[in-house]
Amino acid sequence: MAEQAAPATAREWHLAARPQGWPVESDFALVEAPVRTPGPGEILVRNAYLSVDPYMRGRMNDVPSYVPPFQLGKPMDGGAVGYVVASEAEGFAPGDAVLHGLGWREYATVDARQAVKVDPAAAPLPAYLGVLGMTGLTAYAGLLAVGGLKEGDKVFVSGAAGAVGSMVGQIAKLKGASLVVGSAGSAEKVAKLVDEYGFDAAFNYKDAPVREQLAQAAPDGIDLYFDNVGGDHLEAAIGALGVHGRAVLCGAIAQYNETTAPAAPRNLALAIGKRLRLEGMLVGDHAALRPQFVAEVAGWLKSGELRHAETVVDGFENTAEAFLDLLRGVNTGKMVVRLDG
Ligand SMILES: NC(=O)c1ccc[n+]([C@@H]2O[C@H](COP(=O)([O-])OP(=O)(O)OC[C@H]3O[C@@H](n4cnc5c(N)ncnc54)[C@H](OP(=O)(O)O)[C@@H]3O)[C@@H](O)[C@H]2O)c1
């Protein structure tokens, strides 16, 4: 594709204040800043799609974690795909499409060792942020490597219409699960899970207690729970898991904006008698699975056995709002922001 020259300045999103509870607009600032010319080993990238992800909420708090917190008054970062406009790095040329970690800005000057080339002809660019990217690998590694999915397993996944959850449910079916149940936050999402993604059952967790709806959907209990939500979902799953059941603790989005400790799960002691295994996971630990993941998922995409959705928000200036909408559940599938031009 034809590349324009880089402008002298471009916009980036800064964290203006640390949110207390739900983030508000004034926690974010849209700032015009100089575009830095790449030095040796660097590339300048015009971002085309930005990823907004739930883990970014944790980075807005000033607490030690597995990723450092965002700094106040500095640009935020996160997954992005875009086009190289200038290169001082071997192996990268203007026009190359790349995946890298300096999102939340229009132009990024990136250490080329932190960028990987992607093929826009093999898959649309946003796929490298979702189904073939970080969230896809989270689903694949979480379900198979951490959860140890076995043929015949009865599986429950929360956040099931989201980027990670929608892949977990479908991969579970493809790998021979005997029952796949999903929970999501709207009737439309629930219908999509059953009608398009092949889930055996799904329910809206806002309609009635999760415990009751899960018992109805999986009357004989479950073997494996993939947790994206925490709280009452995790409590219901602990109740429904059978002896030697497993739970993959991937996320706890129900508590990311809470200012008090969660009220559930209250039944953790059941894990003793049932000899449950509850295991936390981080996608970063599973980079070695990437080639296998890409090969298998690309095959399913090609054959049409795996479906995926993106919710695309247009306009760089809407990035903060897109992030908030992700936390509010506006998205189905991967939430991405498409930049102009
Ligand atoms: N451990 C790791 O390495 C790793 C990596 C990636 C993601 N994650 C975690 O995986 C989970 C899913 O991430 P994702 O990127 O795929 O996001 P996503 O599911 O595409 O989007 C977030 C979804 O969470 C749901 N949600 C929001 N508040 C909720 C609540 N109080 N109760 C239940 N559901 C709620 C919303 O859907 P509804 O309409 O259904 O409410 C929303 O669409 C998150 O917890 C994230 O932190 C972990």
Tokens of 5: 């020259």
- What's the rounded Cα separation, in Å, for the pair 270 and 280? 18
State the pairing for strand pair 28-34/9-15.
Answer: antiparallel
Q: Half-sphere exposure (CA, 13 Å, Cβ side) for 210?
A: 25
Residue 4 has a pLDDT of: 61
Over the range 181-192, which residues count as b (16 or more CB within 10 Å of their CB) and which as e?
bbbbbeeebbeb
- C-alpha distances out from residue 326 to 12, 54, 161, 194, Å: 20, 7, 12, 22
Ligand 1: centre distance to CA 228 (Å)? 5
Ligand 1: centre distance to CA 12 (Å)? 25
Tokens of 112: 């080329």
Q: Tell me the per-residue pLDDT of 7-26, one tens digit each, with 9 for 90 and over.
A: 999 999 999 999 999 999 99
Query: Does any ligand 1 atom lie closer than 6 A to the CB of residue 165?
Result: yes
Query: Does any ligand 1 atom lie closer than 6 A to the CB of residue 170?
Result: no
Task: Using pLDDT thresholds of 50, 70 and 90, give the confidence band for residue 289.
Answer: very high
- What's the rounded Cα separation, in Å, for the pair 160 and 155? 11
From atom 46 of ligand 1, which residue's Cα is the shortest distance away?
A: 251
**Residues belonging to the chain:** 341
Pocket mutation for ligand 1, best pick of 61, 66, 228, 256 (most atoms within 8 Å of C-beta): 228
Whether the domain at 9-130+309-338 and the domain at 134-284 fall into the same CATH topology: no
Ligand 1: centre distance to CA 322 (Å)? 14
Q: Half-sphere exposure (CA, 13 Å, Cβ side) for 329?
A: 20
Ligand 1: centre distance to CA 159 (Å)? 5
Query: Does any ligand 1 atom lie closer than 6 A to the CB of residue 133?
Result: no
Q: Give kind and range of the element (H or E) at residue 168.
A: helix 163-174
Residues 6+ apart with CB under 8 A from 271: 238, 278
- Tell me if the bond preceding 265 is cis, omega within 30° of 0: yes
**Does the 9-130+309-338 domain belong in CATH 3.90.180.10?**
yes
Ligand 1: centre distance to CA 326 (Å)? 8
Residue 46 has a pLDDT of: 98
Task: With CA atoms as reference, report the closest residue to 102 among 133, 122, 79.
Answer: 79
- What's the rounded Cα separation, in Å, for the pair 239 and 215? 9
Residue 52 has a pLDDT of: 98
Pocket mutation for ligand 1, best pick of 253, 281, 336 (most atoms within 8 Å of C-beta): 253
Query: Does any ligand 1 atom lie closer than 6 A to the CB of residue 22?
Result: no
Q: Is the dihedral of CA 330, 13, 50, 255 positive or negative?
A: negative
Q: Tell me the per-residue pLDDT of 104-160, one tens digit each, with 9 for 90 and over.
A: 999 999 999 999 999 999 999 999 999 999 999 999 999 999 999 999 999 999 999
Whole-number mean pLDDT of the chain? 97
First to last CA, the chain: 12
Query: Does any ligand 1 atom lie closer than 6 A to the CB of residue 262?
Result: no
Residue keyed to tokens 């800064």: 14
Query: Does any ligand 1 atom lie closer than 6 A to the CB of residue 183?
Result: no
Mean pLDDT of all residues in 197-226: 98
Residue 3 has a pLDDT of: 52
**Spans of all domains in the chain:** 9-130+309-338, 134-284
Query: Does any ligand 1 atom lie closer than 6 A to the CB of residue 218?
Result: no
- Between CA 223 and CA 228, with CA 226 as vertex, the angle to 5 degrees is 155
Q: Tell me the per-residue pLDDT of 24-64, one tens digit each, with 9 for 90 and over.
A: 999 999 999 999 999 999 999 999 999 999 999 999 999 99
From atom 21 of ligand 1, which residue's Cα is the shortest distance away?
A: 162
From atom 19 of ligand 1, which residue's Cα is the shortest distance away?
A: 162
CATH number of 134-284: 3.40.50.720
Q: Write phi, then psi, for 236 (nearest 5 degrees).
A: -65, -40
Mean pLDDT of all residues in 176-185: 99
Mean pLDDT of all residues in 165-191: 98
